[in-house]
Amino acid sequence: MSYRIVGVIGGMGPAATVHFMSRVLDLTPAASDQDHLRLIVDNNSGVLDRNAAVAGNGPSPAPVLAGMARGLQRAGAEMLVMPCNTAHAFAGAIVAASDLPFVDLIEATTNEAVAHQASRVGVLAADGCLQAGLYQHAFARRHVAPVLLELRAQARFMALLHAIKAGDRGADVRAGMQTLAADLVAAGAQALVAGCTEVPLVLGAEDVSVPLTDSLDALARATIAAAGRTP
């Protein structure tokens, strides 16, 4: 049986892309090598800063993302995914650049989060993702209220995010992320979303007191399904 070839618009950041590939592998029902999906990956760490672009402080990464989409299609991809939450602020450029189906990470994650039937969902996400309103709009369409960190806590989140991107996944970073997750629960969140693909590298379901939706796992499951497998 053949499955769609998956083109991965990656590198944002590189470790998150590799982890996404690992989760696709782990979640695919397979008894042999041939049962797994073919992934064509552009792990392009040179994609321009998404947070700066959303804030109006830097150039848009949209042309680079569109070029990656076209390159993956030329390489044989039959569908596209992008394991970066904030970059979905520029997803329109990807859709316009290619006629391939695009699996939306924000939609996949939000769909899984609302399955917990929580009326208030805490979102751990980067500044650009929040400034673009990606999860706020997605949850509003589903009549769910997002719970966000207050400004100083959000600044701590960004500091932790940069530490993870720099390769630090140590105890202090993990404890810091757990504290921020607990802050959202204390603010009324009945469930949580790891809305940045670096968050699952240091925070798991066992670290929080409410259901946690991992955006990388949500995208992995949606990718497997869209490619023609049942995760």
Tell me, yes or no, if 129 is annotated catalytic.
no
User: Using an 8 Å Cβ cutoff, are 154 and 127 in contact?
Assistant: yes
Q: Tokens 């150039």, residue?
A: 59
Tell me, yes or no, if 196 is annotated catalytic.
yes
Q: Which residues, in sequence order, are CB contacts of 175 under 8 Å at separation 6+?
A: none
**Which one of the listed residues 123, 184, 196, 218 is annotated catalytic?**
196
User: Using an 8 Å Cβ cutoff, are 195 and 215 in contact?
Assistant: yes
**Which one of the listed residues 80, 84, 132, 160 is annotated catalytic?**
84
Residue 81, phi then psi, degrees to nearest 5? -140, 160
Active site (catalytic) residues: 84, 196
